[in-house]
Structure 1
Amino acid sequence: MFLNSRPTRSLVGVLLFGVAVLALLPGMKGYTSLDGTVNARVAVVSAPIDGTIQFTPAKVGTPVADGQALVSIRNDRVNRAVLASLAAEARTAGERADALVRERDELVRLRATLGERLEAYQAATVETLEREVTILRRRIEVSRAQEIAAQSEFTRRQTLGGSGIVSASAVEQARAAEITSTGQIDVTRLQIEQLEYKLAAVRRGVFVGDGQNDVPYSRQRGDEVSVRIADIDTRIAENLTRAAQIEEQRREEDARVRSLTAAVLSSSFTGVVWRNNVVSGSNVVLGNELVRLLDCRDLFVDILLPEVDYDEIYPGRAAEVRLLGRSATVPAEVLSVRGSAAATEEVTLAAVPPAAKGRSARIRLALHQSDLNTDFGNHCQVGRSVQVRFESRSLPLRRWMSSLWFSIS
């Protein structure tokens, strides 16, 4: 029969040998993985405040630009009691400072009036003392004339007394009159010195006299007013400082209240909406997840390879990635290599990595920039299965022989 003929059997043998060669050839030329998955990271946008969603965020699959507004939250139930209290306290401190300023101005005017009175009183006192000094100096001139007359009368009577014309008592009276005149001049000089001392003291602002203080009432009252003004200046400074501090606290509280009243969340990168958990009118609390954004800037692929090839796959090694159903390939580069027992759970991944199968190393490859990074309508092909191919630099026969020898030795 034809099927049992020698040519037919030879053809079948050649075909089977070719199939075996084709099956073994990929393993001899490199490493291939059929369970790869395109993956990317997602950014979780959470509610920064309590409130109500103002408008529905973009639908799933909608591209968003860097800086584009995603969600707006409004909260009208913010407690403003502390802000109102601080505003009232700041206003009170400012009004108190203004009142103290007005009181200080009144006291300054009173001090100026008292100073004018003191100057008038001092000028009048100086003028009075100067007149008294002038009068006493004139009195000295009169006393000197009387002294000269008394001396002449004493000399004359002394001469007449020696002749017996006048009595001795008359001579003594003339002598007493002379001594009195001389003493009167000395007393007047002392009075002038005393008045000049008072005059110098008054010009210095010190008033000396029996029954008087060193300063008049106007000066004493002016000193009291100056002390009061100094005290008010201190209180004004305290109130102004307090008002400034309260105003700073009020601004901070106002900023805090405004931050809790409304919030607009924007995208920090160009991506696509991966998940939308809220709609307009939804009530949210602090920390609620609102939107998830897919970051297509850095796409990568997770694959599994037998762990015996661990040392042959290293970070930086080039690879080719082909999406199932496509003929074109995307260049890739190994990012990391992890053993089969490594903990690899990541909550920010958009796709589930391939499940570990036995002793399989987990390989992560970074995809070079391609049209996948901008294919927002298809979520950048995240989650799609791929084939990954590594070119081998040598035949695996030597490594297989070394492993076999280690097993049987």
Structure 2
Amino acid sequence: MLTRRFSRVLVGVGLLGAAGYAFAPHLSNRISTAAVVNSEVIRIIAPIDGVADDRLPGPGVMLAAGGSRPVVRRLVVEDRERHRLAHDLALVRAQIVEARHGLVQLDAQDAELARRGALYHEATREKLATEIAETRAGHAGALAAAAQARAELDHVLTLRAARHVAQVRVETAEAALRQAEAAAEVLVARLAGLHVEHRAALAGVHLRDGHNDVPYSVQQRDRVMLQRQVLTERLAEARARESALAAALAAEEAARLDRDRYDLALGHAAIVWERHATPGAPVKPGEVLLDLVRCDDLFVEVALPDTAFGALASGDPAHVRLRGGIELQGSIRSIRGAGARSRKTLLAAERPAEHGARLTVEVALPADASHLMAPEGEGGFCGIGRLAEVSFPADFNPFGAEVAARFGGITRALRDAAGWAVEVAARLGASARAETAGTR
């Protein structure tokens, strides 16, 4: 009988301690159970008209950062512009090859003409030198003939003075002298002309042709130079067009890939929250394909009474306790009052409603919170949607803080007493059952 009464007392003490322990946190904290782990939704929309890829990931699939995954492909490939650019580029490259070949031929022809021009100049100079030497020799002969004619005239004059010859013989001798002197003067003039031609030939100008000052080979070299200039300009223009067409073709190739296929590339890891399109089904531009969520940017959305607005501030600490015993430390990142407009951002989870709770508080969680809330691997959805209990430390004055601290000490004592009472009651119950079994 005494054992039963003592057990009842211990159970009562345990219940009293448990009630005090359960009620004590509400004196030093603001606690809300209308809280859920949430994340912003990243919506992937089809930019082109096509077909959803057969390997379109389903809900719960993890997408690694930096990877590229095909999402939409076009049924009909549009290649007209690419073919046109490729044709123009091939034509320009053929023009470049032809221009280079023409320049090689012109260089060879110019070298041949230069060789012929050099031979012509050299032969002309040698021929003029030979003619100068020949004219000098002729001039020397003409001078000798003039001297002989002068001697004969002197002899005839002597004979005429002696009346041995007639006057006609004197006139004949005089005419021969004038003819010999004239021949010598002609050779002197010719020699002067040959010297002028020789000096001009040494300077590259030929005076014997009445219409051309240079030979045909030099004239052809001038024509080749003009043709080379035209081909050089054409080659430079073709090279510029080749660069422009190559850049345009590369841009068209990249644009064609964007037009014909849409690949999903993420700068951060994400998990597929929902798949809106069926793999292999046709999609239109603007149609939603996937909803993604980030597991490294989780937060807890909490509902509180509007009277707590002045007691909270952005950056204040918050204690988050999930059902299942997981506890996390976070901080307030935003507070929206009852009159604020609803958030336009897509959210993965919906906060549970609570009567009288109109203040919305968002508590940021650590980046590794998903590893504690959800199992590793795909399908856990990073713990998004799990209900939570969030407590915010209350701000007391010094007297209130002392009272709260003392009450907290009493609460801890009641909790220890409750634990001790429950343990003793369990032992007494076990011993009573053992005695009863022995009596039987």
Same fold (TM over 0.5): yes
Contact 2:374–2:381 (CA<8 Å) still a contact in 1?
Answer: no
Q: Distance in 2 between matches of 1:72 and 1:92?
A: 37
Please identify, of 345-354 and 104-113, the stretch whose mean Cα deviation from structure 2 is larger. 104-113
> What is the SS of the residue equivalent to 1:198?
helix
Please identify, of 369-378 and 73-82, the stretch whose mean Cα deviation from structure 2 is larger. 369-378
1:143 is matched with: 142
Displacement of 1:142 after TM fit? Answer: 0.9
Paired residue total = 381
Displacement of 1:238 after TM fit? Answer: 1.8
Change (3 A) 1:93 1:326: closer
Change (3 A) 1:217 1:68: closer
Q: Distance in 1 between matches of 2:234 and 2:318?
A: 79
Query: Does 1:352 find its partner at 2:353?
Result: no
Query: Does 1:50 find its partner at 2:49?
Result: yes
Q: Distance in 1 between matches of 2:290 and 2:383?
A: 20
2:385 is matched with: 383
Displacement of 1:87 after TM fit? Answer: 1.1
Listed one character per residue, the Cα deviations across residues 239-292 of structure 1 (whole Å, up to 9, x for unaligned) are 232233222212221222233334442554344321012333122234432222
**What pairs with 1:61-140 in structure 2 (closer than 5 Å)?**
61-67=60-66, 71-140=70-139
2:362 is matched with: 364
1:227 is matched with: 226
Change (3 A) 1:68 1:136: closer
Q: Distance in 2 between matches of 1:388 and 1:301?
A: 9
> What is the SS of the residue equivalent to 1:298?
coil
Displacement of 1:77 after TM fit? Answer: 1.0
1:341 is matched with: 339
Aligned-residue sequence identity (percent) comes to: 27
Contact 1:28–1:395 (CA<8 Å) still a contact in 2?
Answer: no
Change (3 A) 1:259 1:153: same
Q: Distance in 2 between matches of 1:299 and 1:136?
A: 114
2:277 is matched with: 278
Residue 305 of structure 1 aligns with an amino acid whose one-letter code is: L
Residue 135 of structure 1 aligns with an amino acid whose one-letter code is: E
2:191 is matched with: 192
> TM-score when scaled to structure 1?
0.79
2:240 is matched with: 241
5+ residue gaps, structure 2: 1-16, 401-440
Displacement of 1:329 after TM fit? Answer: 2.9
Q: Distance in 1 between matches of 2:167 and 2:192?
A: 38
Change (3 A) 1:213 1:365: same
**What pairs with 1:154-233 in structure 2 (closer than 5 Å)?**
154-209=153-208, 211-233=210-232
**What pairs with 1:296-311 in structure 2 (closer than 5 Å)?**
296-311=295-310
RMSD: 3.4
Displacement of 1:235 after TM fit? Answer: 1.8
Contact 2:34–2:351 (CA<8 Å) still a contact in 1?
Answer: no
Contact 1:302–1:354 (CA<8 Å) still a contact in 2?
Answer: no
Contact 2:39–2:298 (CA<8 Å) still a contact in 1?
Answer: yes
Change (3 A) 1:78 1:111: same
Displacement of 1:361 after TM fit? Answer: 2.9
Listed one character per residue, the Cα deviations across residues 85-111 of structure 1 (whole Å, up to 9, x for unaligned) are 111111122223333444444444444
Q: Distance in 2 between matches of 1:21 and 1:162?
A: 181
1:407 is matched with: none
Residue 33 of structure 1 aligns with an amino acid whose one-letter code is: S
> TM-score when scaled to structure 2?
0.74
Change (3 A) 1:238 1:367: closer
Please identify, of 157-166 and 256-265, the stretch whose mean Cα deviation from structure 2 is larger. 157-166
Listed one character per residue, the Cα deviations across residues 147-176 of structure 1 (whole Å, up to 9, x for unaligned) are 221232233334444444445554454344
Contact 1:31–1:392 (CA<8 Å) still a contact in 2?
Answer: yes
> What is the SS of the residue equivalent to 1:304?
strand
Contact 2:326–2:373 (CA<8 Å) still a contact in 1?
Answer: no
Q: Distance in 1 between matches of 2:157 and 2:190?
A: 32
Please identify, of 205-214 and 134-143, the stretch whose mean Cα deviation from structure 2 is larger. 205-214
Q: Distance in 2 between matches of 1:267 and 1:318?
A: 32
Query: Does 1:269 find its partner at 2:248?
Result: no
Contact 1:56–1:278 (CA<8 Å) still a contact in 2?
Answer: no
